Amino acid sequence: MTRIFTASAVALIASLSAANAATEIQWWHAMGGELGAKVEEIAKNFNESQSDYVIVPSYKGNYVETMTAAIAAFRAKEQPAIVQVFEVGTGTMIAAKGAIYPVYQLMADNSEPFDPASFLPAVAGYYTDTEGNMLSMPFNSSTPIMYYNKTVFEKAGLDPNAPPKTWAEMEAASKKIIESGAATCGFTTGWVSWIQTENLSAWHNQPIGSLENGFGGLDARLEVNGPVQVKHWENLKKWADEGLYKYAGPVGGDNAPPMFYSQECAMVMNSSGSRAAVVENSKDFDLGFAMLPYYDDVEGAPQNSIIGGATLWVLQGRDDAEYPGVAKFFTYLSSPEVQADWHQVTGYLPITTAAYDLSTEQGYYEANPGADTAIKQITLNAPTPNSKGLRFGNYVQIRTIIDEEFEALLAGNKDAQGALDAVVSRGNALIEEFQSQNQ
């Protein structure tokens, strides 16, 4: 409530002070700290590049809070024109047909040049409907990679330039690290849901759900309890008991980065978007980058990893005068210069091929080894129906269920099969509910 009041108060003051010329466009985002400063900078540069529109970015808290705030604002008819929504909110946004203004349509209505083919397929695919239309504007996309401590590898007698490629090598390396006393834990991970469940499935070309992981419609159901996922969860439990792996908490795994920075754990799997922070905090040791490990006995592995991060959605119901400005801003935002700069400063993926080429030309990858690990991993193979991404309603809650069942597995209350079966049955109950709400 307060948030809405403050937001409208700010909007009121802003509109009074700039009442003379430019049209105000509200952009709600979830980028705090340094990322937030970068967002402000992008908006400022766009505002200075022309005089008809003023983009007003405002930070609304984390992804969940931002999405919730936008939905509440929509219900109160106070919505912003642009809102940043994380990838798991995609299902909810797409289903809200009367609330969203699909980006392909917005660009066509305002005759702005827009070519979906210029975006990286793994990025564009996630936000495209079955007819190939892009519904939201990719902004910050990332994918999980592995960071490892070369200094600890050396101490343990491992080759610091040959990080483990498979899970079998992970296990062996972790054992050696602990036995040699180089560190007390082999590896940890952020995001058990995103990295060790969803990406694990895509990376091994296994389905997360039916109907192309939910891209085919609201009838889709979860199928994440397949043999590969069960085997992996079973291993994680085993490795946790043996001390090779340390659980870092639910959602993003708050404790994963500190465990890696303090050299307690030698390896961590986390978002490529956290690259800047990892580099900043790893000054006491040599840092290495690697792709996610895979099981070499699974056919088709490694396939390609899937993205996380967020896109910009346009909401209906604002004044007609604002939408041409939104379209212009999107054109500006996806220009190679803006994208390459954003990519290089933050570690998020360059969302267009042009931005990737520009970064290569500028010598960014040569100067920053490992910065292209994420992009190589995401483009390793052409995405299959199992590795395009996922699209389910109520997925924010399903992520919570994945965490809970994983915790039940770690506590010894369930075995891996039981935990994943529960993820599927509890998750499907939510998906069914979402379907009945939206039909």
Partner 1 sequence: MKRVFFNNRWLPWLLLAPQLIITAIFFLWPAAQAVWQSFLREDAFGLNTTFVGLANYKQLLNSSEYHNSFWVTFVFTTSVTVFTMAFALLMAIAVDRLIKSEKVYTTLLVWPYAIAPAVAGILWWFIFNPSIGILTYVLAQVGIRFNYVSDPTDAMILVVLASSWSRISYSFLFFLAGLQSVPGSLREAAAIDGAGPVKRFFTITLPLLSPTTFFLMVVNLVYAMFETFAVIDSTTYGGPAQSTNILVYKVYQDGFVGQNLGSSAAQSVILMAIVIVLTVIQFRYVEKKVAY
Window 65-84: residues binding partner 1 (CB under 8 A): 68, 71, 74-75
* Piece in contact with partner 1 (CB under 8 A), picked from 22-30, 90-98, 161-169, 191-199: 90-98
User: CB 120: neighbour CB atoms within 10 A?
Assistant: 20
Q: By three-state DSSP, how is residue 417 classified?
A: helix
- Please report how close the Cβ of residue 405 comes to partner 1 at its closest, in angstroms: 7
Rounded Cα distance, 187 and 184, in Å: 9
- At residue 146, φ and ψ (nearest 5 deg) are -110, 130
CA distances, 36 to each of 39, 82, 88, 351, 371 (Å): 5, 16, 21, 19, 21
- Please report how close the Cβ of residue 97 comes to partner 1 at its closest, in angstroms: 7
Looking at beta carbons only, is 11 or 95 nearer to partner 1? Answer: 95
- The token pair at 393 is 């309603």
166-195 mask for partner 1 (x: CB under 8 A)? ------------------------------
Residues 197 and 403: beta-carbon distance below 8 Å: no
Instruction: Give the H/E segment covering residue 27.
Output: strand 23-29
Looking at beta carbons only, is 71 or 314 nearer to partner 1? Answer: 71
Rounded Cα distance, 197 and 208, in Å: 8
Looking at beta carbons only, is 74 or 233 nearer to partner 1? Answer: 74
**From the list 11, 14, 22, 95, which residue makes contact with partner 1 (rule: CB under 8 A)?**
95
Looking at beta carbons only, is 259 or 355 nearer to partner 1? Answer: 259
| Helix, strand, coil percentages in the chain from 3-state DSSP, rounded to 5 | 50, 15, 35
Looking at beta carbons only, is 110 or 400 nearer to partner 1? Answer: 400
Q: Does 438 bind partner 1 (CB under 8 A)?
A: yes
Window 257-276: residues binding partner 1 (CB under 8 A): 258-259, 262, 264
- Please report how close the Cβ of residue 24 comes to partner 1 at its closest, in angstroms: 23
* Piece in contact with partner 1 (CB under 8 A), picked from 94-102, 130-138, 161-169, 355-363: 94-102
Q: Does 277 bind partner 1 (CB under 8 A)?
A: no
Window 388-427: residues binding partner 1 (CB under 8 A): 394, 396-397, 400, 403-405, 407-408, 410-411, 413
212-241 mask for partner 1 (x: CB under 8 A)? ----------------------------x-
- Please report how close the Cβ of residue 332 comes to partner 1 at its closest, in angstroms: 28
- Please report how close the Cβ of residue 396 comes to partner 1 at its closest, in angstroms: 6
- Please report how close the Cβ of residue 256 comes to partner 1 at its closest, in angstroms: 10
- Please report how close the Cβ of residue 238 comes to partner 1 at its closest, in angstroms: 15
- The token pair at 279 is 């580099």
Q: By three-state DSSP, how is residue 224 classified?
A: coil
Please enumerate in sequence order all residues whose Cβ is within 8 A of that of 178, keeping only pairs 6 or more positions apart, or say none: 184, 185, 186, 243, 244
Looking at beta carbons only, is 77 or 283 nearer to partner 1? Answer: 77
Rounded Cα distance, 42 and 9, in Å: 24
Q: Residue-wise over 24-50: b if at least 16 C-beta within 10 A, else e?
A: bbbbbbbbeeebeebbbebbeebbeee
Q: Which of 406, 146, 357 is nearest to 272 (CA)?
A: 146
Total chain residues near partner 1 (CB under 8 A): 41
Q: Does 22 bind partner 1 (CB under 8 A)?
A: no
Looking at beta carbons only, is 194 or 356 nearer to partner 1? Answer: 194
- Please report how close the Cβ of residue 328 comes to partner 1 at its closest, in angstroms: 26
- Please report how close the Cβ of residue 53 comes to partner 1 at its closest, in angstroms: 26
- Please report how close the Cβ of residue 217 comes to partner 1 at its closest, in angstroms: 16
- The token pair at 226 is 């397949």
Looking at beta carbons only, is 92 or 379 nearer to partner 1? Answer: 92
Residues 132 and 390: beta-carbon distance below 8 Å: no
Q: List the beta strands (DSSP E) in 121-222.
A: 137-142, 144-149, 185-189
**From the list 51, 111, 161, 439, which residue makes contact with partner 1 (rule: CB under 8 A)?**
439
Sheet holding 144-149, edge to edge: 245-246, 185-189, 265-271, 144-149, 287-290
Q: List the beta strands (DSSP E) in 87-150.
A: 137-142, 144-149
- Please report how close the Cβ of residue 241 comes to partner 1 at its closest, in angstroms: 11
Give me the residues that bind partner 1 (CB under 8 A), please.
Answer: 64, 68, 71, 74-75, 92, 95-99, 240, 247-251, 255, 258-259, 262, 264, 394, 396-397, 400, 403-405, 407-408, 410-411, 413, 430, 433-434, 436-439
